[in-house]
Amino acid sequence: MTALNRVPSLMARAGTASALTLAAVGGTVVAPGFAPEAEAATPATKALQIAASKKGSPYKWGAVGPHRFDCSGLTLYSYKKAGKTLPRTAAQQYNKTRHISAKNRKAGDLVFFHSGSNVYHVGIYAGKGKIWHSPKSGDVVRLQKIWTRSVWYGRVK
């Protein structure tokens, strides 16, 4: 896939001459929110993109999409669309993932919030200390900075 195919609006934004110059010299276009081609093929990256596409969807306890979500409903839905199966609750999802350290986390990994041994919330790691999640009643799916150190990380198998 060429850089021009990855960012369809490039011609409109950069102008035909600039786009043709990029194509002629083999330049690469880096657009915010787009993963490199090799990374884009992974289920984790697909799940992350699907979760991000649900930005603004309302929280509803017990909802698994496609228009409303609770926290684990968003992760379940996103990974299902990416070809992976997860159980229903945050705690069950934690038990089903391969546990990894914070230093080994990657975009698309699951972030589990816990109190002691009780997992009470889950989101999808977006990089730079942020997650996509469906926070609580009255809120919507959004990107947010991780607000506590009481988190564990899991990679979907």
Instruction: Just list the catalytic residues.
Output: 71, 121, 133
Give the H/E segment covering residue 145.
strand 142-145
Measuring CA to CA, how many Å separate 94 from each of 54, 126, 152? 22, 18, 9
| Three-state DSSP string of 91-138 | HHHHHHCEEECHHHCCCCCEEEEEECCEEEEEEEEEECCEEEECCCCC
